[in-house]
Amino acid sequence: MLDTTPDDTARPDDTARPAPGRGAVTHRAERPADADPGLREYLSALGRWWWLALLVFLLVLGAAVGSLSVIDPVYRSEATVLLRTEDSRQLFPRTAGGAVVRTPQAELLYAQSDAFQDRARDAAGEEVEVEVRATPEASALLFSAEAGDREAARAAAQTWADTYVTARHEDDRAQTQRLRDLLVGDRDGLNARRGEILRPVAALDEAVAEETDPIELSRLLNQRLAIQRNLAGELDPLEASIRQLNTQISGLDIDLRVLEDPQAVARVSRAAELPEERANGSMTQSLAVGVLGGLVLAAAAVAAAQALRPRRR
């Protein structure tokens, strides 16, 4: 007892030194790598439940890949038809009448009409579903076909596009010809009206041709001139209308010559191609979904197993 007390009082710095246990704890708290007990706990749980995580991951991945064999495959193929519009007319043959300029919205209505749909289905078959969309910014129509077979989808999209080009060309020629015939009929009617108005002048022309007496001939010519002056108010508008109709008919004649080309109004700018992947899911997409979903569910399974694990007291 007498030896211990002097030793304790002789070394006062021993009392100020922290206890070994406490000092060690303080030193570990200063290391941030070990500051996350949740991460250490999860890594420990993952080492304990690795087999569960692997099982869940493989099950999810297998379900994602196996779904491709359960779902019927659907393949999509598209064909693009370039239209003759105000923006794209420089890409087509030049015309004068302007009757062959189209708009994507109006052409979409034509492609959705019962007459065209029936004609396209007769050519391509009714087994394939085809959708027609307008792309005004590209002055085009898009024909999108979906089928359970790659070649069937490609063939349907291409057939619908070709049918549209053919049918629209035939309709354009028929409409332009009908318009020309209508204008020719109007012009013929105006010419007949002009002939009725000029009948007195024509009678005087016959009399002038037969007259030999200079005095009588002069009288007939003056009479003819007076009649023409009186008829000028009625004939001038009639002549102007006839000249306008002749100009329009000439323009339509140019359009008809241009429309001899089947692709004068529309043409297939991008042919349908054989689709490489399914439209309702591919192996790449299924693998990506399976890996991502498997990792998430595996992590959740480990966390759940660790939470349900009975803890020792």
d(CA 285, CA 287): 5
Residue 27's pLDDT band, with cuts at 50, 70 and 90, is very low
CA separation, residue 148 to residues 118, 153, 162, 182, 217 (Å): 22, 8, 22, 49, 91
Kindly report, residue by residue over 234-274, the tens digit of the pLDDT.
888 899 999 999 999 998 898 888 888 888 889 999 999 99
d(CA 23, CA 16): 12
Flag the least confident range among 25-34, 56-65, 200-209.
25-34
d(CA 13, CA 160): 98
Closest by alpha carbon to 74, among 262, 265, 292, 281? 281
Q: Are 67 and 286 in contact (CB under 8 A)?
A: yes
Whole-number pLDDT of residue 62: 80
Whole-number pLDDT of residue 14: 47
d(CA 125, CA 166): 17
Residue 18's pLDDT band, with cuts at 50, 70 and 90, is very low
Residue 276's pLDDT band, with cuts at 50, 70 and 90, is confident
Sole residue written with tokens 């999509």: 76
